[in-house]
């Protein structure tokens, strides 16, 4: 499933580069590398930044999370040669496309154990009152 998600992000990066003139990808290998670096940044750096900027994210009703996504896309363009983003505006639009399409794709891709978390099981404890008034 991880490989599937990686391929989805690679495809979305290629899609964003074809739709937006401010994002350029030199080759398929560059898109694969950009997806890998974006995944690593999202795993290690994004949670820390989300926690640090949580008050600002709450104040802006979540819009600042999109700004963080754009900054991470700019960071990826810094580290991956052949993946170029012209500026913050293009990074914001690209991050918006990548976020929306990957969110939709992830709704259809399930990881092992995800089925149980989607089905909300309720555990019910059936108690009876005893003669002495205590619940058992």
> Is residue 36 scored above 70 in pLDDT?
yes
pLDDT reading at 115 higher than 70: no
Tens of pLDDT, residues 59-88: 999 999 999 999 999 999 999 999 999 999
CA atoms 99, 90, 17, 73: torsion sign: negative
pLDDT of amino acid 120: 59
The dihedral of CA 91, 97, 99, 105: what is its sign?
negative
Residue the block writes with tokens 């690593």 = 40
Q: Is the pTM above the cut of 0.85?
A: no
Q: Half-sphere exposure of residue 81, counting CA atoms within 13 Å on the CB side?
A: 0
Q: What is the largest CA-CA distance in the chain?
A: 78
pLDDT digits (tens, 9 = 90+) for 4-32: 888 999 999 999 999 999 999 999 999 99
Please give the distance of CA 104 from its chain centroid, rounded to a whole number: 11
Nearest-5° Cα angle at 86, 24 to 98? 60
Strands (E), 68-108: 83-85
What ranges make up the beta strands (E) of the chain?
23-25, 83-85
């Amino acid at each position: 499933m991880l490989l599937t998600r990686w391929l989805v992000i690679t495809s979305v990066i290629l899609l964003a580069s074809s739709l937006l003139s401010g994002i350029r990808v030199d080759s398929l290998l560059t898109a694969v590398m950009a997806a890998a670096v974006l995944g690593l940044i999202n795993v290690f750096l994004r949670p820390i930044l989300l926690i640090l900027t949580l008050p600002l994210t709450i104040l802006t009703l979540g819009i600042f999370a999109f700004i963080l996504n754009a900054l991470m896309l700019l960071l990826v363009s810094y580290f991956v040669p052949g993946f170029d983003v012209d500026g913050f505006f293009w990074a914001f639009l690209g991050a918006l496309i990548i976020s929306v399409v990957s969110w939709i794709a992830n709704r259809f891709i399930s990881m092992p154990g995800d089925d149980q978390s989607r089905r909300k099981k309720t555990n019910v404890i059936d108690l009876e009152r005893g003669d002495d008034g205590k619940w058992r």
